[in-house]
Structure 1
C-alpha cells in the first residue's frame, strides 16, 4: 500500500517536472474561480466554504481548475461528500495505479467511482487479480463496469482466473480488459466455448494467446451466430481448415469479416481484367489473402468518404491499388484532398491516381502544374485526369518543354538526359535479312541464266 507521503511525492514531482523553467511558482499555479464569481452564483452561500475546499482538493490532485464548476454541476453528489472522504477515494485510486494521469482520467470519465463505499471493496481487489502488469486503461474499464453493473471484485477475479486457466498470459488478459471489459460479466462457459471453437479449427492452445493478443475483440463475437457461420463460408469458398488456420494465425482480424464479405471480394478478384503480371502479384499469397487485402482497401476508401459501391468500383478499375500498402493509399488520398484540393469523389472517375507512383509521378507533375498556375502560365485548369493519365512524354511536351524553368522542377528530364523512344535505336537491324557472300561460280551461273533468256 502506498503511503500518504509517497502519493504526495508523486503529485509534487509531477507538478515541478511540468513547470516551465522560466516561470515563477506564482505564475505556474492555476488560479481557481472566485467563490463570489458568476460560476458559483447558482450554488447556495452556505455551501461556498465546502466548495472552496473541494476545489482546492481537486486542484492539489492535478485537475484543471477552470473545469471544476461545470464538473460539479454534472455531479451534484460530490456536494454531499466531505473533502476528507473524497481525498480517501483519491488515495485508494492512486494505490491501484500511482499515476496522476490515471487519476484524472478515471475520475473525469466515471466520477461515480469516487464513492468511498465502492472503492473500499477495491482497495485490494486489483492486486488480488494477479495481473501485475495491468494497464491504466484496463483498471479504468474494470472499475467503470463494476460501478455501472454492480460487479463485485470476486466476480472479476473468477473471470480472470478462468482466462488464466485457459492458458491466456497476464499481458494478454490486460489487453482483453482494455478492449472487451464486458468479459468480467460473462459466464465462464461462454469464454471456454470461444477457446474450444479455436481449437476445433486447428489452433493449438498455446497459439490462442497470440490470437487474443492481436485481436482481443474476437472474444465479443458469438460462436454460434458469428464465428461458426464465418468459418463455414470460408470452407464453402474452397479453403481447407489448414488454410483457414494459417490465415487466422497470420492476422486474426480476418475473423472480423462480416458474413459474405470475403465471397464478394473473391468474386470481384476473379473477374479482374488487367495485365497478367499484376494479377499474378495480387494472388501471390493465395486467394484468401488477396480477397482480404481487397476488403482492407475498400474499408480505407470508405473511411475517407466513398460509398461501399464506389470503393469497390475504384478497386476493380485500378487493381494496382491492392499491391500498395494502406499507409501509401492514405498518403495519396490526403495529398489529393488537402494539397491538390480535389474532392475524394474524383477517384471514382480517375482511379488510376491510386495506381501510379506517388514520388515519381504525382509529386513532380503536381509541382509543375502548381508552378505554372502561380505564374499564369496555364490558361485552363488542369484536371486530375490530365495530371495522371497523360504519358510521361506527352506530359513533358505539353507542360515542361515549353517552359525551361520547369525542367528542374520536373526533374525527370532535367539537364542533358535523353528522351527514350518506344524502341531502342538500331532495333530494325535485328530484323534485316541475313546476307551471304557470293562466290565466282554463283556469278557465272547468274550470267549464263540471264543470257539464255529471250
Structure 2
C-alpha cells in the first residue's frame, strides 16, 4: 500500500515546487517583489549599456560575453561610462582602435583613470600611440608623472616626436624603464660602431631593442655571428642595414642557414636567394618563418614549408600575408593546409591563384564539378592541364579565367626596324660577272 501511495506523494512535492506556486509565493512576499524589480532594473541597465557600446562601434556578437566578464560596467553609473567613451572619442582614436582598446582593456572606461590621463595623452601623445599608452598604463597602474619622465628622457636623447611616438607605440614598457637602462642601450649601439647620428633611426626602426637584455641576449648574439664565420665588418653592415637583426633569438640564425644549405631547388632560385649574401638570406628566412607562425602555424611546419617551397623567400612578407588572407577568408581553407600544399605560397596570387579559384568557384555554384576540388587540385596542375580540365569544356569560363598564356600575343624581342640595320649588304653585280656567268652556262650546254 505504501508503494502505491509513493507516486502521489512525489506529485504533491512537484506541485508545491512548481513555478506557478513559486510565482504566487513571490507575489505575496514584499521582499521578493523588490528583488524582482531590481532584476528588471539591472536587465534594463544592461540593455542600455549594450546599446551605448554599439553606438560607439562595439560588435553586437561579443557584447554578452564582454558584459558578463566586466560586471563593474553594469554596477557603475551609465552616465560615467558614456562620459568615458566621449573622452576616448575626443582623443581622435580610429573606431577600430577604440573598440580594440575597450575589448582588450575595459578598465580604461573607469572615470577616475581617464580623468588623470586625458590631459597628458591629448597634449603629448600622437593618436598612433594613444592605444598602447592607455592600455599599458591601465594594466600596470602607471601614473602620468612616469609618462612625463619617460618622455623627457627620450627627448633628452635627441629623439624627435615621430621617434618618441614609434617607441611608445611599439614598446610601451618603456614607461616603466629608468633612464640608466635606456642610456645603456645607446651605449651598446655606440660600442658596435653605430654612428651617433644613426642612433635615432635605429630606435625608430627597432624600438623593441629596449626590452632586450644586453648581457644575456645582445652580446651572446654577436658572439654567435662571429662563430658562424661572419666578419665584424659584415655584422656591423647588416645590423646598420636592418636593426631587427638584433631581435634574433640565440640559435635562430644557424637553423635558418642550415635550411638554406640543404635547399633542393633550381640553381636560379638559390642564386636569387643568396644574391645579397648568406647573412641576409638567413634573416629573410627568419622573417618568413615568423610570418607563418604569426598566422597560426607551429615553427616546425613553418620551416618545413620554406624548405619545400624556397620561392617563398623571394616574395615580400606582405605578399605572403595577402595569400594567407585569401586562403583563409576567401577560399575557406585552414592555414594548416599549407603544410601539405606549400606550392600555394610560391605562385603569383593575381595571375594564378585568383583566376583558378574563380573558375572552380563558378563551376561549383553551377554544379559543373563532379567532386570537390581541394587545394592540391587547384594549385598543383600545370596551366595547360588546368585549362583543359576546367576551362576549355565551358566557354563561359574563358572570360573568368582570362586568356591562356599560349594564346597571348608574343611580345617582340627587338625594336621595330632593327632588322634593317642587321641586314648584310647585298652584292652588286658587275658586267664582268655577267660575262663570266654566260660563259659558264654555255660550257655546260
1:359 aligns with 2:350: yes
Matches within 5 A, 1:393-432: 393-413=384-404
Residue number in structure 1 paired with 2:159: 168
Q: In the alignment, does 2:271 pair up with 1:280?
A: yes
Q: 1:246 matched to which residue of 2? A: 237
CA distance in 1, matches of 2:341, 2:308: 9
* CA pair 113-175 structure 1, distance change in 2 beyond 3 A: farther
Instruction: List aligned pairs for 1:38-437, cutoff 5 A.
Output: 38=39, 40=41, 74=72, 99=91, 109-110=106-107, 114-115=111-112, 134-135=125-126, 156-413=147-404
Check whether the contact 2:129–2:166 (CA below 8 A) recurs between aligned residues: yes
Q: Cα offset for 1:194?
A: 0.8
**Contact 1:72–1:78 (Cα < 8 Å) also in 2:** no
Structure 2: distance between partners of 1:144 and 1:382: 45
The 8 Å contact of residues 202 and 242 in structure 1, kept in 2 or not, is answered as: no
Q: C-alpha displacement at 1:113, in angstroms?
A: 7.2
1:249 CA drift (Å): 3.4
What is the distance in 1 between the residues matched to 2:138 and 2:297? 40
- Structure 2 counterpart of 1:31: none
- Alpha-carbon shift at residue 272 of structure 1 (Å): 0.8
Shift of 1:416: 6.6
Q: Given that residues 332 and 358 in structure 1 are in contact (C-alpha distance below 8 angstroms), is that contact kept between their aligned partners in structure 2?
A: yes
> How far is 1:359 from its partner?
2.3
Find the counterpart in structure 1 of residue 18 from structure 2. Answer: none
Structure 2 unaligned segments of length 5 or more: list them: 1-36, 411-445
Query: Structure 1 residues 371 and 241 mapped into 2: Cα distance closer, same or farther (>3 Å)?
Result: same
Indicate conservation of the 8 Å contact 1:179/1:216, yes or no.
yes
Structure 1 residue matching 2:283: 3-state secondary structure: helix
Q: Which moved more, 1:69-78 or 1:332-341?
A: 69-78
CA positional deviation for 1:264: 0.7
> Cα deviation per residue 1:83-137 (whole Å; 9 max; x = unaligned)?
9xx89x98xx97x9964769x9999854597449x968x898789xxxx753257
Q: What is the SS of the residue equivalent to 1:238?
A: coil
C-alpha contact 2:108 2:138 (8 A) present in aligned 1? no
- The CA RMSD measured in Å over matched residues stands at 4.7
| TM score, norm. by length of structure 1 | 0.63
Number of equivalenced pairs: 358
* Separation (CA, whole Å) in 2 of partners of 1:188 and 1:242: 30
| Kept in 1: contact 2:42–2:74 (CA 8 A) | no
Q: Give 1:418 deviation, angstroms.
A: 9.1
Distance in 2 (alpha carbons) for counterparts of 1:389 and 1:380: 17
